[in-house]
């Protein structure tokens, strides 16, 4: 089946009520794996070699910007960010550099120094807590927040670096406060505003309201040239859907991390952003490097990929259920390809270099066995199929490759005897 005929056999309710996904600006991505992703309390900090390899995979996936770290956190961080900038420069990667820092000269100055040393432009992501619970705890007045914002943005801009102003806990901040500090940041030359849902508080409705309000503010300020980012956390399990809601309401750059790594339960998963934006027609890039990207992130940080993790998990395109296997087998007999890849999958396995896998277990039927035998070039004679089904039904789990091979050898040997 050709992709052009897909609409004949799939009715897409996702498009009902949606006029178009062709927005004024293409969606850009900023990868936070090497900074916010490493703030997870359960990960190991990767070696510089693994960080370089991850940066190359990000580049191959078409991700536009990578946050390389927080140089203000110490000398080790300075060394790593410097080495990554040098790698980006020497390998002539397309991906651009960014680095995070508080609205303090102590955090921003190291970023400036690294940029001047390596000759690589680094986007400064300078952040300030904006919610009342945060300002009350810190003892900040609105004047303090204006001053911190002004001094930080001004320092970066005066050193000829692009500055994005980040408000932490934006989803719980008063619009009056946000309006004041956004105005200061824009007046001082910030080229982007980043809404950070620091504690994963937002719902899609809250994200829509926040971005609608921000776009109206930018219009009033005559600053529609300023870009808008969304940086989501997954405390309520809503980071991905919140990111997609942000795009619908004017966000033109999304942040994420490999496998959703990050503080507490993590950030928006970059890998799932790439897949979903691609399916929505909002990101056009080859995703064949998506699995290596996730596997390297898992290995380098010591966080194994759960078997049921979407798209790149071991079970994402794997079934042991009879009715599913029967449908996949029928699709395969009708030509396979896109038909086989879509019959029981919302994500085409081939789009990330994977294939549909049919296993044999207690929920399986003859179709599972026939498909399993066919992929190994073994004739599916009725006696062999029946014996494998019988043994599978007696099992409490999916049979392994070795177990199935043993059954095949024993059954064929008994038949020949």
In CATH, what number is assigned to the domain containing residue 145?
A: 3.20.20.70
Q: Is 164 a member of any domain?
A: yes
Distance CA 384, CA 74 (A): 64
Q: Which domain holds residue 387?
A: 318-416
Express each pLDDT in 220-274 by its tens digit: 999 999 999 999 999 999 999 999 999 999 999 999 999 999 999 999 999 999 9
Q: Is 410 a member of any domain?
A: yes
Distance CA 368, CA 357 (A): 10
How far apart, in Å, are the Cα atoms of 191 and each of 46, 59, 226, 294? Answer: 31, 23, 5, 31
Please give the tally of structural domains in the chain.
2
Angle at 33 between CA 110 and CA 225, to 5 degrees: 70
- Of 301, 329, 359, which marks where a domain is finished? 301
Specify whether 255 is located in the same domain as 329. no
The pLDDT of residue 336: 77
Instruction: Return the closest-CA partner of residue 230 out of 143, 162, 171.
Output: 171
Q: Is 17 a member of any domain?
A: no
Specify whether 280 is located in the same domain as 326. no
The pLDDT of residue 417: 67
Specify whether 289 is located in the same domain as 356. no
Decide: 266 and 305 in contact? Cβ < 8 Å. no
Walk along the chain (417 residues) in steps of 10 and give the mean pLDDT of each run. Answer: 56 72 72 97 97 98 98 96 98 98 98 98 98 96 98 98 98 98 98 98 97 97 97 98 95 97 97 95 93 98 97 95 92 86 92 93 95 92 95 95 95 83
The pLDDT of residue 18: 61
Specify whether 282 is located in the same domain as 361. no
The pLDDT of residue 84: 98
Decide: 354 and 322 in contact? Cβ < 8 Å. no
Q: Is 309 a member of any domain?
A: no
Q: Is 167 a member of any domain?
A: yes
Alpha helices in 221-364 (DSSP H): 239-248, 270-279, 290-301, 322-333, 337-342
Specify whether 285 is located in the same domain as 329. no
Distance CA 243, CA 228 (A): 12
Specify whether 326 is located in the same domain as 295. no
The pLDDT of residue 128: 98
Give residue for tokens 């890998």: 271
Q: Is 238 a member of any domain?
A: yes
Decide: 309 and 271 in contact? Cβ < 8 Å. no
Q: Is 355 a member of any domain?
A: yes
Instruction: Return the closest-CA partner of residue 244 out of 98, 95, 19, 29.
Output: 29
Q: How many CB atoms lie within 10 A of CB 304?
A: 11
Q: Is 384 a member of any domain?
A: yes
- Answer whether 0.85 is exceeded by the pTM: yes
The pLDDT of residue 21: 46
Distance CA 186, CA 344 (A): 49
Specify whether 290 is located in the same domain as 326. no
Specify whether 40 is located in the same domain as 179. yes
- Of 268, 301, 334, which marks where a domain is finished? 301
Specify whether 361 is located in the same domain as 216. no
């Amino acid at each position: 089946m050709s992709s052009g005929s897909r609409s004949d056999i799939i009715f897409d309710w996702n498009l009902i009520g949606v006029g178009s996904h062709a927005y004024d600006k293409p969606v850009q991505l900023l990868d936070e794996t090497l900074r916010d992703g490493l703030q997870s309390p359960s990960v190991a900090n990767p070696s510089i070699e693994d960080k370089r390899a991850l940066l190359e995979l990000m580049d191959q996936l078409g991700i536009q910007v990578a946050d390389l770290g927080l140089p203000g956190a110490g000398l080790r961080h300075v060394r790593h960010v410097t080495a990554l900038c040098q790698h980006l420069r020497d390998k002539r990667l397309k991906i651009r550099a960014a680095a995070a820092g508080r609205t303090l000269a102590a955090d921003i100055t190291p970023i400036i120094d690294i940029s001047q040393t390596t000759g690589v432009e680094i986007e400064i992501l300078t952040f300030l807590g904006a919610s009342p619970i945060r300002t009350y705890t810190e003892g900040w007045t609105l004047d303090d927040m204006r001053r911190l914002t002004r001094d930080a943005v001004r320092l970066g801009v005066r050193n000829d670096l692009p500055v994005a102003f980040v408000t932490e806990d934006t989803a719980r901040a008063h619009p009056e406060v946000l309006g004041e500090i956004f105005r200061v940041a824009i007046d001082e030359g910030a080229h982007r505003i980043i809404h950070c849902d620091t504690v994963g508080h937002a719902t899609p409705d809250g994200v829509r309201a926040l971005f609608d309000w921000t776009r109206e503010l930018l219009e009033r300020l005559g600053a529609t040239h300023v870009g808008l980012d969304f940086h989501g956390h997954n405390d309520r399990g809503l980071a991905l859907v919140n990111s997609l809601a942000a795009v619908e309401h004017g966000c033109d750059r999304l942040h994420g991390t490999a496998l959703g790594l990050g503080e507490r339960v993590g950030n928006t998963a970059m890998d799932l952003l790439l897949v979903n934006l691609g399916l929505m027609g909002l990101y056009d890039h080859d995703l064949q490097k998506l699995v290596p990207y996730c596997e390297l992130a898992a290995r380098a940080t010591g966080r194994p990929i759960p078997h049921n993790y979407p798209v790149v998990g071991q079970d994402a395109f794997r079934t042991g259920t009879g009715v599913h296997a029967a449908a996949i087998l029928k699709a395969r007999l009708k030509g396979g390809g896109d038909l086989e890849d879509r019959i029981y999958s919302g994500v085409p396995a081939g789009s990330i270099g994977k294939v549909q896998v049919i296993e044999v277990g207690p929920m399986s039927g003859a179709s599972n066995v026939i498909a399993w035998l066919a992929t190994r070039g073994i004739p599916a004679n009725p006696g062999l199929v029946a014996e494998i089904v019988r043994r599978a039904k007696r099992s409490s789990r999916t049979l392994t490759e070795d177990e199935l091979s043993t059954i095949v050898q024993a059954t064929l040997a008994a038949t020949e005897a």
